[in-house]
């Protein structure tokens, strides 16, 4: 099993942060290979570790989507790593124990003027599709703790208070 650094574009990384789908493809990797997942760009970050499945997709073994690490020199291109390079980075990533599952409430609120409830719903879904996660904040809070509500845009916390900008 070879070790690799797989560099993805900023756009693909943003998509991972929003949807967390996994299943990144890297044609040069073989099933069983391990990958250090890096988002390229001006400030590259390590956003996970993965292993290539038999379909050629890199599946997460560790996700760092909420707390990526600086990638340093690893953010330039997809390339093979020697075991020592891979282990040096992997040692910095302490897999967190699985957090207990909680119920979160997620809301997207839009004031919509319409002639009927059905028209309002159609307009709502049109806005959601058109604006998407890059422009439309989703509000998230643990069930029963509305005061902990936080807005998220593109999978990251986003301050929505215009007085605090």
* Residues 147, 152, 157: CA angle, nearest 5 degrees: 80
> Is the same domain home to 63 and 136?
no
Q: Is the pLDDT of residue 98 over 80?
A: no
Is 52 inside a domain boundary?
Answer: yes
> Is the same domain home to 38 and 58?
yes
From CA 73, how far away is CA 71, in angstroms rounded?
6
> Is the same domain home to 87 and 122?
no
- For 127, the domain range is 104-164
pLDDT computed for residue 34 by the predictor: 95
At 96, the pLDDT band (50, 70, 90 cuts) reads low
> Is the same domain home to 126 and 147?
yes
Q: Render pLDDT for 1-40 as a digit per residue (tens, 0 to 9).
A: 899 999 999 888 888 888 877 668 888 899 999 999 999 8
> Is the same domain home to 85 and 129?
no
pLDDT computed for residue 30 by the predictor: 93
Q: What is the count of structural domains for the chain? A: 2
- Residue 3's nearest CA partner among 52, 48, 44 is 52
pLDDT computed for residue 119 by the predictor: 95
> Is the same domain home to 71 and 119?
no
> Is the same domain home to 66 and 128?
no
Helices (H), the chain: 10-19, 83-92, 117-135
pLDDT computed for residue 142 by the predictor: 93
pLDDT computed for residue 48 by the predictor: 92
From CA 144, how far away is CA 102, in angstroms rounded?
11
Is 97 inside a domain boundary?
Answer: no
> Is the same domain home to 88 and 38?
yes
Tokens of 3: 């070790």
From CA 163, how far away is CA 21, in angstroms rounded?
35
pLDDT computed for residue 103 by the predictor: 95
> Is the same domain home to 88 and 112?
no
At 95, the pLDDT band (50, 70, 90 cuts) reads low
47 versus 42: which is more confidently predicted? 47
> Is the same domain home to 113 and 68?
no
Question: Percent of the chain beyond pLDDT 90?
Answer: 48
Which regions of the chain does DSSP assign to beta strands (E)? 3-8, 24-25, 34-39, 45-52, 57-63, 69-70, 79-81, 104-107, 138-142, 150-153, 156-157
Instruction: Give the global pTM.
Output: 0.76
> Is the same domain home to 10 and 86?
yes
95 versus 99: which is more confidently predicted? 99
Is 64 inside a domain boundary?
Answer: yes
For range 88-113, the mean pLDDT: 86
23 in Cβ contact with 16 (< 8 Å): no
């Amino acid at each position: 099993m070879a070790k690799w650094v797989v560099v993805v574009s900023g756009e693909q990384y943003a998509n991972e942060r929003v949807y967390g789908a996994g299943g990144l493809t890297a044609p040069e990797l073989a099933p069983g290979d391990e990958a250090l997942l890096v988002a390229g760009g001006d400030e590259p970050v390590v956003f996970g570790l993965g292993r290539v499945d038999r379909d050629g997709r890199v599946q997460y073994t560790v996700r760092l989507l909420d707390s990526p690490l600086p990638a340093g020199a690893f953010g330039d291109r997809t390339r093979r790593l020697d075991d020592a390079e891979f282990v040096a980075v992997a040692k910095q990533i302490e897999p967190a124990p699985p957090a207990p599952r909680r119920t979160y409430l997620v809301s997207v609120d839009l004031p919509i003027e319409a002639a009927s409830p059905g028209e309002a719903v159609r307009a709502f879904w049109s806005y959601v599709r058109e604006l998407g996660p890059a422009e439309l904040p989703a509000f998230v809070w643990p069930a029963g703790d509305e005061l902990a509500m936080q807005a998220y845009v593109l999978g990251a916390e986003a301050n929505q208070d215009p007085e605090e900008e």
